[in-house]
Structure 1
Amino acid sequence: MKKFTYTDMIAHLGVSSAHPGGSALTKKTFSNENILPDMKVLDIGCGTGQTASFLAKKFQCEVIAIDVHDTMLAKAKKRFDKTGLDIKVIKANAEKLPFTDEIFDYIVAESVIVFTNSDLSLGEMYRVLKKSGKLISIEMTAEDKLTISEKKEITEVYGIKKVLLEEEWKEHFLNTGFSEVIIERDHEANNNQLAADKNDPSEYIDPKLFEILQAHTEVLQKFSGRLGYRIYRCIK
């Protein structure tokens, strides 16, 4: 019997903005970025393609969208075809990016790194960024120290390996090689954006996926005020 994951749940529910803060935070995060039409942007863990679509429309730049989940990729392609956007979609793993060195001006990773082996994925992101390029990442962040059992509860629900404090994330980025890490809080913070945007659910959704959704909701309620997120702008 297939064991479903949190990622399976958001894929089959077709959640447009599963990352903390949702599409409103994405738009706010990029409102002051000067992305030019001749720049190349990589959206890692593109999901159903909402952020990639937004970036391509707003900046008229080249966007490449990657994900490892077939359902996500299919829904992203459907979105791009429907809107007529020329966005390349590639099935790829953040831990082994299929690109040569230093070719992207920007990398976007919204609630992605925490789901990977971050030593590998961050190293790959750094590798494919141009000098002075920027990684913009929105990641789950603990607001205070959690006990071992609390961390275990969170990691089991989301299928992640660790839950980091803000200073631990910063150290991780700097140790990867990034020269500067600018950290921002979202003052209109809202962790649970799963139903906030227009979604694209699959025709059949296994009932077990709703159990994962319920577990997600319970974790957010239980750790309200202790489990948040940050926007990390990392400059190579």
Structure 2
Amino acid sequence: MAISYTAANVSAAAAADSSPFLSHFHRLRWSSVLTGFSLCFSSGSIPLPAMSMSGGFRGYGVAVERKDHRPSFAETAAVRHFVGSLTRAEGLRFAVVVARFNEIVTKQLLEGALETFKKYSVREEDIDVVWVPGSFEIGVVADRLGRSRNYHAVLCIGAVIRGDTSHYEAVANTAASGVFSAGLNSGVPCIFGVLTCDNMEQALNRAGGKSGNKGAEAAVTAIEMASLFEHHLK
């Protein structure tokens, strides 16, 4: 279906819009390639080649609506949706890598994680906790645990607090990239539960204080991802 509008059509649309660009739109000659088709604007007419879209085309004050409505992908029964379940945690095994540095924070994050695992029926014997010196060392250990194929997910816990030097950025960035790489390389979900805070007060607030317990939240993510991989993506 080819659709064309005269300069008068566009001028009327431009006049109805307060945009300065639109008010001079019909005086422009613009040739460009956008998403596979070319638009040529002139003072005569504006041809639009045939196009197929799920909805309508709207641009520069001109609306082109499809006459035939087709349901979106989300509305069709044939599309399958996979979501990890928090109620199917029994039998799933987890490793938790915890940094000793800033232990006053990481211990509380670990407690929150363990309580959450228990809440969702993960057995104690299905959880192994591995302590490392600091957040910098988390990534390599998470990678080794993931490659062992003994766990359905690896939860990584640490706390990096900003100081007077750039050391904070180095450790925080390395911890994040290390956990991310461990998940990609091992094929096992590795969950980032490392706090990166400006001061100790912020960290404690996120380790069971007024901002909740981020260790508990990370454990929920670990359960959901482990369930997704085990029950849907094997």
Larger RCO: Structure 1 or Structure 2 (Cα < 8 Å, ≥ 6 residues apart)? Answer: 1
TM-score (normalizing by structure 1): 0.31
Query: Which one has the largest radius of gyration?
Result: 2
